[in-house]
């Protein structure tokens, strides 16, 4: 268990995430959570938002050292010909688009038995937006 003093829960999650990712393998968010739970003395205090924010900031602030290589999967990255900034920007944009689409889909979950016409129209427009964003995300992804 952890004896290091951290200034925040997010800092602790980032610390243990970096430890796990040092093996160079691809790890899912679930694997990261399990690793943190095994190494932190108070992991029960960590919410989904803490994990999401900590992992996102780790990737964004790593100057390309870590990347989201697929939806919910992260890895220590070794770079070849591309500059770190180019890969980092592309990976960051793809990750943010993916998370944004997931959040939109989450908030548009409605109880069909109590749905109001207005809510249904908003959900339909949001579904259109998610489809458009997914198409644009695919275009960016194939720019590699």
Q: Report d(CA 65, CA 17) in Å as an integer.
A: 13
pLDDT on residue 81: 41
44 and 2 share a domain?
A: yes
1 and 60 share a domain?
A: yes
- Both tokens of residue 50? 């803490």
For range 108-121, the mean pLDDT: 85
**Tens digit of each residue's pLDDT (9 = 90 or more) over 56-114:** 999 988 888 898 888 888 999 864 444 444 456 787 788 788 888 888 888 887 778 88
Q: What is the mean pLDDT of the chain?
A: 84
42 and 96 share a domain?
A: no
Q: Quote the domain boundaries for residue 127.
A: 83-144
The lowest-confidence range among 32-41, 74-83, 98-107, 129-138 is 74-83
Q: Identify the DSSP state of 64.
A: T
Q: Looking at 25-83, list the stretches that DSSP marks H as alpha helix, in order from N- to C-terminal side.
A: 29-39, 48-60
pLDDT on residue 80: 43
| Structural domain ending residue among the three candidates 76, 97, 120 | 76
| Structural domain ending residue among the three candidates 48, 76, 104 | 76
| Structural domain ending residue among the three candidates 34, 49, 76 | 76
Its pTM stands at 0.55
Q: Report d(CA 58, CA 141) in Å as an integer.
A: 21
42 and 89 share a domain?
A: no
102 and 130 share a domain?
A: yes
Domain count, the chain: 2
Q: Report d(CA 88, CA 77) in Å as an integer.
A: 10
60 and 91 share a domain?
A: no
CATH number of the structural domain spanning residue 58: 1.10.10
């Amino acid at each position: 268990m952890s004896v290091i003093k951290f200034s925040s829960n997010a800092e602790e999650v980032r610390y243990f995430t970096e430890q796990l990712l040092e093996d160079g393998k691809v790890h899912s968010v679930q694997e990261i959570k399990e690793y943190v739970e095994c190494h932190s003395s108070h992991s029960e205090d960590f919410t989904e938002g803490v994990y999401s924010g900590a992992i996102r900031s780790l990737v964004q602030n790593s100057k390309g050292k870590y990347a989201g290589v697929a939806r919910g999967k992260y890895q220590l990255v070794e770079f070849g010909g591309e500059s770190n900034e180019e890969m980092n920007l592309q990976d960051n944009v793809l990750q943010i688009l993916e998370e944004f689409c997931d959040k939109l889909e989450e908030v548009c979950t409605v109880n069909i038995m109590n749905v109001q016409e207005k809510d249904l129209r908003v959900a339909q427009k949001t579904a259109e937006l998610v489809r458009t964003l997914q198409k644009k995300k695919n275009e960016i992804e194939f720019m590699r």
